[in-house]
Structure 1
Amino acid sequence: MKTTNNLLLFYHLIDKGSFSKAAEHIGLTKSVVSKRITALEQALGVQLIYRTTRKLTLTEAGDVFYHHAREVYNAVQNAEDAMSGLGESLTGKIRITVPTISGELILPEAIAAFSQQYPDIHIEMDLDNRFVDLVQEGFDIAIRTGAMPDSSFIARQLVQARWVICGSPSYLESHGVPTQPNDLTKHNCLGYSFQETVANEWLIEDKLGIHTVKVKGNFTTNNASALRGAAIHSQGLVYVPKILVAEDLHNGSLIEVLDNYVAKSLGIYAVYPYTKQQPMKVKLFIEHLYQYYQKYRDKFK
């Protein structure tokens, strides 16, 4: 009951999500896997999973047991990596959850470079603007922006991202260039709804200190690329991370305004659960992301 095999069996069952998939992965029959899990529960004296025809759900005891099983699995993987020299033989899957804006910018290029170096590691990236529970949903890493709350997770800052207010040359020619924050009330300010403040409150710094200015406009979206497109097509001003429009500012498609008043600058972090036995492939991936974001840090500030 207390062997490593039982822990690994339970880990694979939860990781794969069904008895049939776990049995196929391990090379056993479904009935054997089911009997061994039942025997494991009887030996422990607790129920580990709720079984239904559609899915497996962890009990409270099962959730605790799974975390220990995952640490054993990671320890075994690390040992195998060490014996193989930590070279291109690294294999497996890394699941990463990413806000839409990050998934459309530096990250795809960084992942492509990582995959060239470690072609046998499969990166599974999920674009989602909601706050994902890494442990419950089985993700290895999350890319998150802003202040990190105290938790059992570890957050490594990849880069500091400054925000900018900008508009197209034709829009500014038609509506004038704002020279102070109060001028924003006279402009069509397009809202980005995926941020910690509401879309129509822009963070600025002036003689009153750091505060928000209420703005208004005829377009709001939670998609940063759509917001950028609207600005390029002269619909109004936008307040977005500089990295989103760095090339547009460079080639003149957009022009930054009120640069001395913008107060928003947020850290971008790789967040991952604390574990004593973090898989080597995850360590390598996080370090790769850090180096890649640092390579382009001038575009963020």
Structure 2
Amino acid sequence: MTQFDDLIIFYHLVTRGNVRSAADQLKQSEQELTEKLAAMERKASSQLLHRHLPTLTPTEAGNTLFEYAQQAQSLLTAANTALQSEPLSFSGTIKLAAPYVDGEIILPIALSRFSAKHPQVNLDLTLTHESLPLSDNLDLVLSTTSSVHPQMISEPIFAHRWVACASPSYLNTHGSPTHPADLYQHNCLGFKAQTEGAFEWQFTDGRHHYTRSLSGNFSVNSPQSLVQLCLAGQGILFVPYLLIASQLQSGQLHQVLPEHIHKETKIYATFPSLRFVPRKLRELSRFIQQAYNEHNHNNE
């Protein structure tokens, strides 16, 4: 029996003319679509598409199926249009997880704005130092990884730019490094949430990117505690700009080695469905992305 999803896939294979274009449109892999087409042909006991031509062309059996595929796509389009014309009024609970870096600075702003617009939605936030897998217990996960289950969707929403900084008191006492190699003579503050390792810092010489393994007498998994140690003059810090933007602007911290720093961490929003993401999750993701962008713009 042909499933509704099969009809939508077949519609895009025919109208797009090739597997790659259809896969991009449906946000699925080419291999997955190829396998689904083969499964459809096994169910039909007949070849549905000619593959030897420049574009995928329906066979006689494929033309019959395509008539129904067009109806299915029209029905889906009409349903989406009807839903989008409805006022945005959400309810229920959204369970989400995010790194501490984002959860302590950006998410309070985004969630407050979202709640003001959608007061009937309960928000359940878990902050973590490790990426949590999206499961039945979570609706939305913010993380630094785009590797997800094939039936889920992960979209980039922001990119953290990393910086190195220290307090004026520390720099007055120990001097300011002028080259990454100078950091071997300094006390570095390790951020344990960094994927590569607390003291594995990334640099560039303008042509190549490289990592230096540094050391220090503090390594902490709490970003706010690490910032406080840096403000207290305990060493040089390497963290996302988001964490110390206000301190840099106020002069409480000074950036070091700006022309040598090379690290950017993308933040992804992961949803539980590859095809149909609930509108309230899309709306929440939009609020979060907007908060990121505003914070970044206001602190440039």
| TM-score of the pair, normalised by structure 1 | 0.68
**Displacement after TM superposition at 1:274 (Å):** 2.3
CA contact (8 A) 1:162 1:241 kept: yes
Aligned pairs (5 A) from 1:245-256? 245-256=244-255
Instruction: Determine helix, strand or coil for the equivalent of 1:266.
Output: strand
Residue 32 of structure 1 is matched in structure 2 by none
Q: Counterpart in 2 of 1:163?
A: 162
Q: How far has the Cα of 1:208 moved from its partner? A: 7.0
In structure 1, the residue matched to 2:229 is: 230
Residue equivalent to 1:46: none
Letter in 2 for 1:225: Q
2:100 and 2:254 map into 1 onto residues whose CA distance is: 24
Query: Given residue 266 of structure 1, which amino acid in structure 2 is its aligned partner?
Result: T
1:191 aligns with 2:190: yes
- Matched with 1:149 is 147
Q: Which residue of the partner structure matches residue 85 of structure 1? A: 86
State the distance in 2 between where 1:237 and 1:99 align.
Answer: 22
Paired residue type of 2:295: Y
Preserved contact between residue 92 and residue 121 of structure 1 (Cα < 8 Å): yes
Contact 1:162 1:300 in 2 (8 A): no
Assess if the C-alpha contact under 8 Å between 2:246 and 2:299 holds in 1.
no
Contact 1:241 1:300 in 2 (8 A): no
User: Number of aligned pairs?
Assistant: 221
Q: Provide, for residues 207-251 of structure 1, a one-character-per-residue CA deviation record: whole Å limited to 9, x for no partner.
A: 672111121111001111111010000000000000100000000
Structure 1 residue identity aligned to 2:237: V
Unaligned runs of 5+ in 1: 1-77
**Equivalent position of 2:291 in the other structure:** 292
Shift of 1:168: 0.1
Aligned AA for 1:85?
Answer: E
Give the corresponding residue for 2:264.
265
* 1:85 Cα offset (Å): 3.0
Identity of aligned residues (%): 32
Quote the offset at 1:252 in angstroms. Answer: 0.3
Secondary structure in 1 aligned to 2:282? Answer: helix
Distance 2:84 2:156 in 1: 31
| Match of residue 106 from structure 2 | 106
1:178 partner SS? coil
1:83/1:289 Cα in 2 relative to 1: closer, same or farther (>3 Å)?
Answer: closer
| Structure 2: tracts of 5 or more residues without a match | 1-78
Partner Cα separation in structure 1 for residue 158 and residue 84 of structure 2: 34
Could you list the per-position Cα deviations for residues 2-22 of structure 1 after superposition, in whole angstroms to 9, with x for gaps in the alignment?
xxxxxxxxxxxxxxxxxxxxx
Matches within 5 A, 1:1-301: 82=83, 85-87=86-88, 89-135=89-135, 137-145=136-144, 147-149=145-147, 151-152=149-150, 153-206=152-205, 209-298=208-297
Q: Tell me which amino acid in the other structure corresponds to 2:211.
A: T
Shift of residue 293 of structure 1? 1.8
Q: Residue 115 of structure 1: CA displacement?
A: 0.4
- Residues of 2 paired with 1:142 and 1:239: CA distance? 25
Q: Report the Cα distance in structure 2 between the residues aligned to 1:299 and 1:187, rounded to whole angstroms.
A: 31
| Distance in 2 between residues matched to 1:300 and 1:253, nearest whole Å | 14
1:107-165 superposed Cα distances (whole Å, 9 cap, x missing partner)? 11110011000000111101122231212x521111112x5236423222222211000
Alpha-carbon separation, structure 2, partners of 1:150 and 1:129: 18
Q: Which residue of 2 aligns with 1:61?
A: none
Change (3 A) 1:90 1:156: same
Q: Secondary structure at the match of 2:190?
A: strand
Shift of 1:285: 1.1
State the 1:278 CA deviation: 2.4
Change beyond 3 A, Cα 1:299–1:172: farther
User: What RMSD over aligned residues (CA atoms) do the two structures have, in Å?
Assistant: 2.4
